[in-house]
Amino acid sequence: MSIDQEIDPIESEDDLFEHFNFVVDKGQQLLRIDKYLLLKIANSSRSKIQTGIEAGAVKVNDQQVKSNYKVKPFDEISVSFSTPPRDNEVIAENIPINIVYEDSDLMIINKEPGMVVHPAHGNWTGTLVNGLLYYCQNLPGNTNIRPGLVHRIDKDTSGLLVIAKSEFAMTYLAKQFFDHSIERTYYAIIWGVPKVAKGTLRGNITRHPKDRKIMYMLPEESEEGKLAITHYEVIESFGFCSFVKFNLETGRTHQIRAHAQSMGHPLVSDSSYGGDKIRFMSTRTNFKQFVDNMFKVCPRQALHAYSLGFEHPTTHEWMQFESQFPEDFDNLLNKLRKFTND
């Protein structure tokens, strides 16, 4: 299979991890868990398994264990590792990267809108990963297309990303994303004003049957898709648009964009989900001209990954980061305020 066929342009964030669940056979003799997993997980290594155990990514009966734990019949084992490397060369490129924090374990990047996070079909150069490999040659998994990545944001979404600098940090952070213990706050500008100013959106998210490049929402009881949970709060209303805060409980592909569309309030300028045309009217004079100018000021989906919080892999301190709105988002917000207040 060629790499172009293998890479899915809208992979889920979950695809950055690999998950395993085992129930130990009733005839299993006592055996160290690292040796047991080495036998059960294909193409793994003892060092990777031990790193995962140290990072708390291996649980037996829902409890973290040490490498010398001996599995017993009927033990229930769950494993969450970072995705194994793929044999693809990524070229290091001298691309400017906005690093807002760095230590020996991780980096926090403030990604500009328009930058693709990692190479894939149609974007093999000029990505954040190309720039990361130039800046830091020893990222974990530096032989594959996603070195150091434990999550991602869309090309035209701006804001914060955490990058792991060691295999241990990568596994430790991946576990937090998998457990949904990471704090992620986004701000967006949507069309219209939701009837309920603060609430939670739940449903199963899957590919659109007619357009495989976008996602759509199904009822939570559906057998298709994966559960997506988004908390939202309207911060400011402009009548035909709203400034909204979103908090992710899960991290599915296009989650906020698909959820916003599902409640009839797509993100402004989001062409994939119907936000690039007037969705709510205003009686104000020159409204259509103002909207045309809105699209010019912020020609991409009005979505910004504002804050990121997590437990540090080695110090175990809670780390919290925030990023200012980029110029296009800030200008759009200010124009909306001025237009409605004049």
- In order of their start, the domains of the chain are 3-82 (3.10.290.10), 99-180 (3.30.2350.10), 185-341 (3.30.2350.10)
Catalytic residue selected from 105, 154, 270, 328: 154
Q: What is the pLDDT of residue 46?
A: 78
Residue 233 has pLDDT above 50, yes or no: yes
Dihedral pair phi/psi, residue 153, rounded to 5°: -130, 160
Which two tokens mark 233? 């709060």
- Rounded average pLDDT over 99-104: 96
What is the pTM (predicted TM-score) of this model?
A: 0.78
pLDDT-derived band at 255, boundaries 50, 70, 90: very high
Q: Which of 168-182, 215-229, 307-321 has the highest average model confidence (pLDDT)?
A: 307-321
Which has the higher per-residue pLDDT, 18 or 327? Answer: 327
Looking at residue 96, its pLDDT comes to 92
Quick one: which H or E segment has residue 3? helix 3-6
Which sign, positive or negative, has the C-alpha torsion 268, 271, 273, 277?
Answer: positive
Q: Select from 212, 283, 220 the least CA-distant residue to 249.
A: 220
Distance CA 295, CA 328 (A): 10
Q: Are the beta carbons of 186 and 323 closer than 8 angstroms?
A: no
Burial class (CB in 10 A: 0-12, 13-18, 19+), 342: exposed
43 pLDDT tier (thresholds 50, 70, 90): low
% of the chain exceeding 70 in pLDDT: 89
Distance, CA of 263 to CA of 273 (rounded, Å): 12
Look at residue 14 in the predicted model and tell me its pLDDT: 53
**pLDDT classification of 244: cutoffs 50, 70, 90:** very high
Range 98-113 average pLDDT: 96
Average model confidence (pLDDT) across the chain? 87
Residue 162 has pLDDT above 90, yes or no: yes
Q: Any catalytic annotation for residue 330?
A: no
DSSP assignment of 197-243 equals SEEEEEEEEEE-SS-TTSEEEE-TT-SSSEEEEEEEEEEEE-SSEEE
Strand partners, 52: none
The whole-number pLDDT of residue 202 equals 96
pLDDT given for residue 266 in this prediction: 97
Q: CA 261, CA 205: separation in Å to the nearest integer?
A: 12
Note the helical H segments in 67-150: 128-135
In this predicted model, what pLDDT tens digit does every residue of 281-311 receive, in sequence order?
888 889 999 999 999 999 999 999 999 999 9
Query: What SS3 class is residue 297?
Result: helix
**pLDDT number for residue 291:** 95
Indicate if the pLDDT at residue 85 is higher than 60.
no
Inform me whether the pLDDT recorded for 87 exceeds 80. Answer: no
Among residues 39, 43, 45, 35, the alpha carbon closest in space to that of 67 is found at 35
| Separation between Cα atoms, residue 233 and residue 66, nearest integer Å | 42
Q: Identify the pLDDT of residue 30.
A: 86
Do residues 109 and 151 make contact, with C-beta atoms less than 8 angstroms apart? no
